[in-house]
Chains A and B, each alone.
Chain A
Amino acid sequence: MNVPHVLDRVAAAGSALNFARIESAISGDPWFHAAGMDGSLTVAVRGDQLPERYLHALRAFRFAQYVDFGWVDRDAAKRAGRFTDASSCAPHREFHHLVIDRTSGRLAAYLALSSPDVFGLEVDYPIDVTVDMAGTIPREKIWEGKRLVRRADLGRSQLGRNAPWWTLVAITQVLESLESAGQFQLLIADGATSGSAAMLRSLRYAVTTLPTLPHPQNRDGVLGPMWRQPETAVAYSAQLTQETPPVIEDLTKFLRSSRPGSVRDYLALRTQGPSSAEGNLIHA
C-alpha cells in the first residue's frame, strides 16, 4: 500500500501545524517573549491566554513528535483510537513554552508545565509526590513538566540546537514569576538522565533524582515504546537556586547571538568563569 500508516499521516498533520499568528491571539502579555537571530520566536503563556484551537494544536504537535521519536505503538494507538495527547488539567493550571520557527511558522520545540490534581509521575511510577518528593512543600506549589519535544526534522541548524534551550529559558522565567507570587517551590518531571535533568543541572537547578523505576506495565499500551528506550527514564525534582538566574542570563545572550558551538559546552566552560567560556568558544 502506498498510503502511509495512519499514525504517520496524523503525525505529519500535527507537525505541519502553523502557529505564525499566535502572538496576535494571546490575551494579555505573554510570561516570556524572545526573538533570536536563529529565526526563533519563543513565548510562554498560560493556557487560558490561548484560544482553544491552539491548545488542541499544541497537544497534536506533541503527540506527533512522540510518533516521530518512535515512542508510540502505531497499531496500539490505532486500536485505542488515540491520535493526540491528552490535556492534563484546566487551561489556567497549565503553561505552554513554544519555540516557533519564524520562517515557516511551525513549532521547533515545545514544553508544557502543569499543576494537575494527579501528577503524571504518580501514574507512571509507584510514587506519591507528596510523600516521596515534596518534603514540606505544599502540593499546590509543585509544578510538573511534560516531556520536552523538539521537532524531529530540524536537523543540525542553529535553531535545531537552540530550540530546546529556549524552552528552558522560558520555563525558568515562568517558574521565577510563579515563585515571586508564592505559587512555586518544586518542579517535578521525568526523562533520561542525560536529557532534561542534565540540562536543568547545567542551568544550576538543584536536581534530585529518585531511584524508583517506572511501572513495568508502562511498556505495554500506546506509549509502550517510550518506556522501552535504551536509557531508562528517571523521575526527578528540581528547584531554582541563586545561581540559576545569572546562568539563564548568560545562556540567553548566547542563544540570542549567532555563535557556533555546543550549548552544553558553553555552559560547562562557563563554570570556569564567563571570560574563560568566551575565550574558548571564540577560538573553537
Chain B
Amino acid sequence: MTTARQLHSPLADLDSLTSQHRKAIGQLREFARDVIAPTAARRDGAPLGTVEWDLVEEAQALGGLRMGLPEALGGLGFTAEGLGYTLEEFAAADPGFALILGATGLFQTPVMLSNDDRLTSEYLLPFLGDQPILGCNAVAEELNGTDLVLATNAEHAVDMTTAVPDGDVYRLTGKKKYITNAPVARYATVMANIEGHPGSTGLTCFVVDLQWAGVERGTTHDKLGYRTAPAGELIFNNVEVPAENIIGGPSGGWDLNTTIGNITRVTCAAIATGIARHSLDHALAWATSRRQGGKFLFEHQMSARKIADMAASVEASRALWTKAARLVDNSLPVPEFEPAIAKMVADKAAIDNANAAMSLIGAQAFQRDDEMERIMRDSFGPRIYEGSPEALAMTITAHLCK
C-alpha cells in the first residue's frame, strides 16, 4: 500500500503572521484535526438543532469565539488571513463547526467596526468569559435574498423587516430566515429597513439581545449540509431596540453590509477550500490503497488527472483567498473584486472536488456511511453563503466594466 500525503495547509503559509498568532492558529488547527474531525459524522446525524456545547466550550477556551476580536479587548486579534487559515482547517474537519465560529464572528465584526466603547463593552465583553456565547448576523429574509446582497437591488426588496422610530428607540417587526446560529445565539446584528424608505434603501444595522421582549425563534431549518451549525428564523414582534444600538447610523446599513460581505467572502472561500481539501484527502486515501487492473488507482492516467485537478483546485483556491485576505487586512476601503473572485473559484472547487472524489471512489462513496456523502452535501454550502456565483458575477463584472 502506498501512503497518501495529506494536504494540510502548509505551515510555511503562516510566515506572514506573528509568532503569537501562529501559536494560537496551531492550537486551533490541532483541535480541529484531533477532536472535531473524528466526531463530525456524529454531529451530522444528530437531531435537528443539536449543538455540542462541550466542544464549543473547548473551542472557546482556545479562543475560537474571539478569534477576530482585537488583542487589546482580550481577543486573539486574528487578521483575515489568520481567520482563513483557522477556518480552512475547521472546514476540512467539519464545515458546520467552522460556521458556528464564523457566524459568531459575523456578529462581532460590525460591533468592532462601530468603534463604540459602549457597544464593545456590552456586546463583545461576554465573549471573554469561559461560557460559550454565540452570535449571528441576521440579513436574509423569505422574499429578500440578492436584494440584500447587491446594493443596486435595494429598491426592489419587499416586505422587509421594518424599524419604526419611537423616541429613543426603534421598534423592529419582521422575520429573518436562513440565519446561522439563530436557534441558539444570544446576540444578533439585525438588518432592518427604516419605515418610509422604499425597498431596503433605509437599511440599518441594529444590535439586538435575543433575550429581549418580542424576539421569537422561529423554525429551525432542516438543511442539506453544515448540519452541525443550527440555522433558522428570527421573528421580531415590535421589539424595542435603543437608538444607540444602531451601527453606522440610520440608513447606513448598506455600506456596512457591503463591507462585511467583502470581508466574509474571504473566510467563506477559506471554508470552501477546506471542503475541497477534505474531498482530495479522502480521494487520495482511496486512490493510494485501492488496486484495479493490477495497480493503484492513482497510477491510472484518468484517475491521476482527476487527483491532479483536485489538488490544483485546492492550491488555486488557497492562493486566491490568501491574496484577498492580505488585501482585506491592508487596504481601505475593503476590496470587492478579489474576495468575490476567491469565493467564486473556491466554492466551485468544493463542489468539483466532491464530484470528482465521488467518481473516483465509486460505489463506496455512494454509501450513506461513507464520509463522501457528508462532504458532498457540505460542498454546496459555500455556493450559497455570502452571495451566490450569480450575485458575485455582478460584483465582479461591475468592477471590470467600470
Query: Could you list which residues of chain B lie within 8 angstroms of chain A, going by C-beta atoms?
Result: 61, 66, 71-75, 117-118, 120-123, 125-126, 128-131, 167-169, 209, 212-213, 240-242, 244
Q: Would you call A83 and B74 a contact (CB within 8 A)?
A: no
Query: Are the CB atoms of B118 and A17 closer together than 8 Å?
Result: no
Beyond A52-B74, A56-B128, whether A1 also contacts B240 by CB under 8 A is: yes
Which residues of chain A are within 8 angstroms of B74 by Cβ–Cβ distance? 51-57
**Nearest chain A residue, comparing its CB with the CB of B131:** A18
Among B61, B129, B241, the residue within 8 A (CB) of A57 is: B129
In the complex the two chains form, what is the Cα distance from A84 to B66 in whole Å?
19
Known A52-B71, A81-B118: A13·B130 in contact at CB below 8 Å: no
How far is it, in angstroms, between the C-alpha of A55 and the C-alpha of B72 when the chains are bound?
A: 11
> Nearest 9 pairs between A and B by C-beta?
A53-B74, A83-B121, A18-B131, A17-B129, A56-B74, A18-B129, A53-B128, A18-B130, A21-B130
Q: Across the interface, do A57 and B128 meet the contact criterion of CB distance under 8 Å?
A: yes
Known A51-B74, A56-B74; 9 more pairs at CB < 8 Å: A1-B167, A1-B169, A2-B240, A10-B125, A17-B125, A56-B125, A57-B125, A81-B117, A83-B120
Which residues of chain B are within 8 angstroms of A22 by Cβ–Cβ distance?
130
Q: How far is the CA of A3 from the CA of B74 in the complex (A)?
A: 27
B122 touches A6 (CB 8 A): yes
Known: A3-B240, A53-B74. A83 touches B126 (CB 8 A): no
B362 to A: closest C-beta gap in Å: 46
Across-interface contacts of B117 in A (CB, < 8 A): 81-83
Asked, given contacts A3-B169, A55-B74, whether A60 binds B121 with beta carbons under 8 Å apart, the answer is yes
Closest to A25 in B: B61
A92 — which chain B residues lie within 8 A by C-beta? Answer: none
- A1–B63 alpha-carbon span in the complex (Å): 36
Q: Assuming A10-B118, A10-B122, A81-B118, is B128 touching A54 (CB within 8 A)?
A: yes
The 8 Å CB contact of B61, one of A21, A55, A78, A81, is A21
A-B contact pairs, 7 of them (CB 8 A): A16-B126, A16-B131, A25-B61, A53-B75, A56-B125, A56-B128, A57-B129
Interface residues of A in 6-65 (CB under 8 A from B): 6, 9-10, 13-14, 16-22, 24-25, 51-57, 60
Instruction: Please report the C-alpha to C-alpha distance between residue A81 and residue B116 in the assembled complex, in whole angstroms.
Output: 9
Counting residue pairs across A and B whose Cβ atoms lie within 8 Å, the total is: 83
Complex CA–CA separation, A24 to B58 (angstroms): 12
Which of chain B's residues have a CB closer than 8 A to the CB of A91? none
Tell whether, in the assembled complex, residue B122 and residue A83 are in contact, meaning their CB atoms are under 8 Å apart.
yes
Once bound together, how far apart are the Cα atoms of A82 and B169, in whole Å? 22
Please count how many residues in chain A sit with their CB below 8 Å of the partner chain's CB atoms: 31
A105 part of interface (Cβ distance < 8 Å): yes
The residues of A that contact B213 with a CB separation of less than 8 Å are 2
Q: Which residues of A contact B121 (CB under 8 A)?
A: 10, 13, 60, 83-84
Give Cα distance in the complex from A123 to B114, angstroms.
33
Q: B241 touching A3 by the CB < 8 A rule?
A: yes
Residues on A with C-beta less than 8 A from B118 are: 6, 10, 78, 81, 83
Nearest-Cβ distance from residue B236 to partner chain A, whole angstroms: 14
Bound together, the chains give a CA A2 to CA B118 distance in angstroms of 19
Chain A residue nearest in CB terms to B127? A53
B71 proximity list for chain A (CB < 8 A) = 52
CB pair A1–B122 under 8 Å, yes or no, is no
When C-beta atoms are compared, the residue in chain B nearest to A80 turns out to be B117
Shortest distance between the CB of A4 and any CB in chain B (Å): 10
Q: State A1–B239 Cα separation when bound (angstroms).
A: 11
Residues of B within 8 A of A2 (CB): 212-213, 240
CB-CB under 8 A from A14, the residues of chain B are 125
Q: Contact at B122–A13, with CB atoms within 8 Å?
A: yes
A57, B128: Cα distance in complex, Å = 6
Q: Is the CB of B130 within 8 A of A20?
A: yes
Which residues of chain A have C-beta atoms less than 8 A from B209's C-beta? 9
Contact of A105 among B122, B130, B212, B241 (CB under 8 A): B130
Chain A contacts for B241, CB-based, 8 A: 3
B66/A53 in contact, CB under 8 A: yes
Q: How far is the CA of A119 from the CA of B209 in the complex (A)?
A: 39
Contact A13 B126 (CB under 8 A): yes
Q: Roughly how many angstroms separate A73 CA and B167 CA in the complex, as a whole number?
A: 23
Smallest distance from the beta carbon of B399 to chain A beta carbons, Å?
Answer: 38
Query: Residues of B contacting A51 with CB < 8 Å?
Result: 74
- Contacting A56 at CB < 8 Å: which of B61, B73, B169, B244? B73
Complex contacts, B61 vs chain A, CB 8 Å: 21, 24-25
